[in-house]
Amino acid sequence: MLTPDVPKLSCQHLNLYFGTKQILKDVSIEFPKNQVVSLIGPSGCGKSTLLRSFNRMHDLVADARIEGKLFLDNQDLYAPQVSVTQIRKRVGMVFQKPNPLPKSIYDNLAYALRIHQFPKNEIPQLIENALRESYLWEEVKNELKKPAVKLSGGQQQRLCIARTVVLRPEVILMDEPCSALDPISTNKIEELILKLKEHYTIVIVTHNMQQAQRISDKVAFMYLGELIEYDTCEHIFHRPQKELTKNYISGHFG
Ligand SMILES: Nc1ncnc2c1ncn2[C@@H]1O[C@H](COP(=O)(O)OP(=O)(O)OP(=O)(O)O)[C@@H](O)[C@H]1O
C-alpha cells in the first residue's frame, strides 16, 4: 500500500549560486514522507548541490548563496533562529565514499550519540539497535572494538548508515552511496534502503538507472540545474513526458 503523499521535505523556487555561477535554477520539489526519491541526471546538473541544500551543507562554502524556501515539515530550514546542529540531526547524510571515523566500530556510533547528549546508560542499546537496523549487527557483534576502517567497503557504508540512523533522524540524504561498492554490497544497501523507508524519508542521488528503478517510489530528473520532470518511478522510466527525460533514461546522453 502506498503511503499518502505527505511532503516531509520540500523547496520552493530554489536558486543556488556559487559566486556568480548559478547552479540550481528555480527548483521546486516535494519529498513525500516514508518514500524513496531518486535524483538522476547527467554529471554536473546539480543533484548533489540540491541534496546538500537540505541539511545546510553549503553553510560551509563561503561563496554559496541561496534564494527561495526550504522546509522540513513546516519548519523553514534557513530561518535565522534555526539550529544547524538540530537540522543535521533531523536530516542525516550518507556520502559517496564510506567515511568512518578512525575509531572502533562501537565508538563511531557512540561518538555521534555523545555529541548529541544522549543519556550514557542508553548508548549500548541504541548502538545495538542501529547496527541491527543497518543489517550489520550479526557481522560485527563480536568485534565492536575493532577499528571501523578494517571493515570491508560495504560494511563501512552500512556502518555510516548506522551512524546516521542511531540519531533517529527523520530524513536520510544519500549521495551516491553505492558508487564505491561491489554488486553484492550494493544489493545489501538497496535492501536496507527499502527497509529504512518504513521509518525514514529518503532522498538519494544515483547514476545507476537500474538502482533508481529498484528502489524509488518517485524519480526527479535534473538537467543543467533545472528540475525537468518529477514523477513516479513507473512514469519516469516507462512513460516520461519530456523529450529530455526520454533521451536521458534511454542512454542517449549523460
Ligand atoms: N563548492 C563549489 N564551488 C563552486 N562550484 C561548485 C561547488 N560545488 C559544486 N560546484 C559546481 O556545481 C555544479 C553542480 O555540481 P553537483 O555536484 O551538484 O552536480 P551533480 O549533478 O551532483 O554531479 P555528479 O553526478 O557528477 O556528482 C558543477 O558545475 C560543480 O562544478
Residue 214 lies in a domain: yes
Q: Judge if the beta carbon of residue 32 lies within 6 A of ligand 1.
A: no
For residue 49, give every residue at least 6 positions away whose Cβ sits within 8 Å of its Cβ, in sequence order, or none. Answer: 16, 23, 24, 58
Give residue 187's pLDDT.
Answer: 93
Q: What is the mean predicted confidence (pLDDT) over 221-226?
A: 98
**b/e string for 178-209 if b means 16 or more Cβ within 10 A?**
bebbeeebbebbbebbeebbeebbbbbbbebb
Residue 83 lies in a domain: yes
User: Would you place residue 4 in the very low, low, confident or very high pLDDT band (cuts 50, 70, 90)?
Assistant: low
pTM exceeding the 0.80 threshold for the entire prediction: yes
- Interval between CA 243 and ligand 1 midpoint (Å): 24
Ligand 1: atom nearest CA of 96 is: 27
Nearest-CA neighbor of 245 among 25, 254, 175, 14? 254
Ligand 1: atom nearest CA of 41 is: 21
Residue 218 lies in a domain: yes
Residue 141 lies in a domain: no
Note the ipTM here: 0.97
For residue 183, give every residue at least 6 positions away whose Cβ sits within 8 Å of its Cβ, in sequence order, or none. Answer: none
The three cell numbers locating residue 223 = 538537467
Give residue 251's pLDDT.
Answer: 87
At position 196, the amino acid (one-letter code) is L
Residue 109 lies in a domain: no
Residue 237 lies in a domain: yes
Q: What is the mean predicted confidence (pLDDT) over 117-139?
A: 95
User: Would you place residue 253 in the very low, low, confident or very high pLDDT band (cuts 50, 70, 90)?
Assistant: confident
The three cell numbers locating residue 164 = 546516521
With cell 533514461, the residue in question is 249
The number of domains in the chain is 1
Q: Tell me the per-residue pLDDT of 232-243, one tens digit each, with 9 for 90 and over.
A: 999 999 999 999
Give residue 252's pLDDT.
Answer: 80
**Does residue 180 have a pLDDT over 90?**
no
**b/e string for 60-79 if b means 16 or more Cβ within 10 A?**
eeeebebebebbbeeeebee
**Does residue 43 have a pLDDT over 90?**
yes
Q: Judge if the beta carbon of residue 43 lies within 6 A of ligand 1.
A: yes
**Average pLDDT value for the chain:** 95
Question: Which among 48, 227, 228 is the best mutation to test ligand 1's pocket, defined by most ligand atoms within 8 Å of the CB?
Answer: 48
Question: Which among 16, 17, 18, 222 is the best mutation to test ligand 1's pocket, defined by most ligand atoms within 8 Å of the CB?
Answer: 18
Give residue 72's pLDDT.
Answer: 97
Residue 79 lies in a domain: yes
Domain with 187 in it: 9-98+164-250
Q: Tell me the per-residue pLDDT of 57-98, one tens digit each, with 9 for 90 and over.
A: 999 999 999 999 999 998 999 999 999 999 999 999 999 999
**Does residue 254 have a pLDDT over 90?**
no
- Interval between CA 99 and ligand 1 midpoint (Å): 20
Give residue 186's pLDDT.
Answer: 93
Q: Judge if the beta carbon of residue 8 lies within 6 A of ligand 1.
A: no
Instruction: Answer for the pair 34, 40: CB distance below 8 angstroms, yes or no.
Output: no
Q: Give the CATH number, domain containing residue 93.
A: 3.40.50.300
Residue 229 lies in a domain: yes
Residue 135 and residue 61: Cα distance in Å, rounded? 34
Give residue 2's pLDDT.
Answer: 52
User: Would you place residue 181 in the very low, low, confident or very high pLDDT band (cuts 50, 70, 90)?
Assistant: confident
